[in-house]
Amino acid sequence: MNLTQMHDRLRLELLRRIQRGTLSVSLLARQTGFGQSHLSNYLHGRRQLSLDAIDRILAAQHLTAVDLLPSAQGRSEEEYGDAVPVVTQAAALFEPLIRASSVQLMLQLPASFLQSAQARAVGARRGWQRFVAVRLSAADALPMEPLLLPEAIVLIDRHYNSLLAYRPNRPNLYAVREGAHLLVRYVEYASSRLVLRPINPVSPIELIEVDSEATPNELVIGRVVLVLNEL
């Protein structure tokens, strides 16, 4: 990882924390002693930081350089080939580049499986690390039983956040963000709402309001490519 990549990955991590509400520019300014305008220019890509400034921000946010690496053990996504990181829900939702500390295990898949998946990214999603996997709790899997069972692992293509059907006449299964929680459902968009449809009759249809300044694709984390109910 060179200095430019470190700048970019630190910026993405800070923006992720701001989006989640765990950080603000004013708080970071107090923690580091830098001016808010100085930090704002950095976060908007209008300036770079010195190595000393990076060290101060890392220390203030309890991060290390290893945390900025895009995948476990400091290796790039390409070096893993067909291995996909199984990560926390928060990482799947908010981390464009998956940090080493967010990886729980690596999921090895058949050769060329990932390359066959077609992408349909909307907005800035093309800059995100593409494939991640998440393990679902019994409560998270319940609305989609029997398709999903407790402790199922779902493989998510974060470069497919379009609501267009992947295959004709077959609904896409999506991972969707509701606040800070990840939901797996069949999804439609109607009347400024995402309509989340379960298949288990005991679970209700859920609606997520889409802010007037946002698009529904921002709440779609990605298409579920594969479900593993047993390993």
Q: Looking at the structure, do residues 76 and 152 belong to the same domain, yes or no?
A: yes
Q: Do residues 33 and 113 share a domain? A: no
Q: What is the pLDDT of residue 168?
A: 87
Same domain (yes/no): 123, 198:
yes
> Do 119 and 181 belong to one domain?
yes
The two three-digit tokens of residue 183, written as one number: 């939901």
Predicted confidence at residue 22, as pLDDT, reads 77
pLDDT in tens, 115-131: 888 999 988 888 889 99
Do residue 127 and residue 29 come from a single domain? no
How many domains, in total, are found in the chain? 2
> What residues make up the domain containing 27?
3-68
| pLDDT at residue 178 greater than cutoff 50 | yes
Give the domain CATH number at 82: 2.10.109.10
Whether 31 and 141 map to the same domain: the answer is no
Q: Is residue 71 scored above 60 in pLDDT?
A: no
Q: What's the confidence (pLDDT) of residue 143?
A: 96
Least confident of 55-69, 131-145, 217-231: 55-69
Among 38, 55, 36, 57, CA closest to 46: 38
Domain boundary (37, 68, 99) is at 68
Residues 35 and 146 in one domain: no
Q: Which of 97, 107, 95, 134 has its CA nearest to residue 224?
A: 134
The answer to whether residues 96 and 45 belong to one domain is no
pLDDT at residue number 111: 62
DSSP 9-38: HHHHHHHHHHHHTS--HHHHHHHH---HHH
- pLDDT, averaged across the chain: 85
**Does the predicted TM-score (pTM) go above 0.85?**
no
Query: Among 44, 68, 92, which residue terminates a domain?
Result: 68
pLDDT at residue 78 in the model: 44
Which of residues 33, 51, 68 is at a domain's end?
A: 68
179 or 155, higher pLDDT: 155
CATH of the domain at 16: 1.10.260.40
Does one domain contain both 64 and 100? Answer: no
Whether 9 and 46 map to the same domain: the answer is yes
Q: Tell me, what DSSP letter sits at residue 211?
A: P
Question: Is residue 80 domain-shared with residue 53, that is, in the same domain?
Answer: no
Same domain, 102 and 214: yes
Q: CB count, 10 Å around CB of 141? A: 22
Integer angstrom CA distances of residue 228 from 57, 86, 134, 160, 164: 39, 12, 10, 19, 24
pLDDT of residue 80: 44
- In the chain, how many H helices and how many E strands? 6, 9
